[in-house]
A and B are shown apart, each in its own frame.
Chain A
C-alpha cells in the first residue's frame, strides 16, 4: 500500500534558523505531492504542491519544496523561520489524477522567539 513517511515528529528551532522537513513516499509511479500546514487553532491549509515541471516549487510564506524522483522525496525548506511558523506540517501524496490523498503523520514545528 502507498505510504508517506515524515522523518521527525517534533522539531524545535530558534527564530532565523533554517528548516528542512523530510518526506518520503513509497509509490513508484506518477504522483502529485503536497505540503499542508495547520497553525494553532486553524484549519489545515495548502502550503504548496507539485504536479509536474520544475522540481523546486515555491509556496506561501517563503516555503519551498524540492521533488527528487530518484529518492522518492519531497522535502520542505525555509531559509529562516519565524515564530509565526509554529505549526504542524503534513506531507501528502496523491497517486495519479483523481486518486485519494495519503497523508504522513505530521511534523510539529515549534519556533522559539
Chain B
C-alpha cells in the first residue's frame, strides 16, 4: 500500500539553528499539506500546496518558516532559526487532486525537539 514518506523521523536541534524536513507524498497526489502538532493538541495546518503552488499558508510563521514543492512532487519545510516553541510533531499529508470527497493520507511525522 502506498504511503506518505517523511524524513527524518526525529530531529534534535539547538535554538537558533536551521532545520529541514522532507516529505514524499503518495504518487500522483496533487495536493500536499504540512501540519504542526503540539503535544496535547490536534494537527494545525501550516501550508497547503496544489501541485507546486501554495494554496494556503495563512498559519505559516513566514519570518522563520518556509516551504517549497518545486516540481510538484516532494516537499521541504524549513525552519530558520529554530525556537524552543517550535518543538512539535510535523506531519505531512497528501490527497488526490481536490475533489469533494478527498481523503488526506498522513505520513509518520518528524518529531522536532529544540533545546
Contacts and interface: CB of A to CB of B under 8 A. Distances in A.
Contact of B44 (A43, A98, A103): A103
B69 to A, nearest CB: 17
A106 B107 CA distance: 18
B106 A106 contact: no
Interface string B89-115: 001010000101101101111000000
B46 to A, nearest CB: 10
A45 B3 CA distance: 11
Q: SS class of chain B's interface: helix, strand, loop or mixed? A: loop
A43 B106 contact: yes
A110 B91 CA distance: 24
Q: What is the size category of the interface that chain B forms with chain A?
A: 20 to 34
A51 B99 CA distance: 12
Contacts of B44: 103
Nearest to B106: A44
Interface in B1-41: 3-4, 40-41
A105 interface: yes
The contact size tier of chain A is 20 to 34
A103 B42 contact: yes
A46 interface: yes
A105 B39 CA distance: 9
Nearest to B45: A100
B72 interface: no
Contact of A106 (B41, B93, B101): B41
A81 interface: no
Interface in A32-49: 36, 43-46, 49
Most buried by A among B3, B48, B93, B104: B104
Contacts of A100: 45, 48, 56
Interface of A: 4, 9, 36, 43-46, 49, 51, 90, 92, 97-98, 100-106
Given A44-B43, A90-B42, A97-B98, 10 more contacts: A43-B106, A43-B107, A43-B108, A44-B91, A46-B103, A101-B104, A103-B42, A103-B43, A105-B42, A106-B42
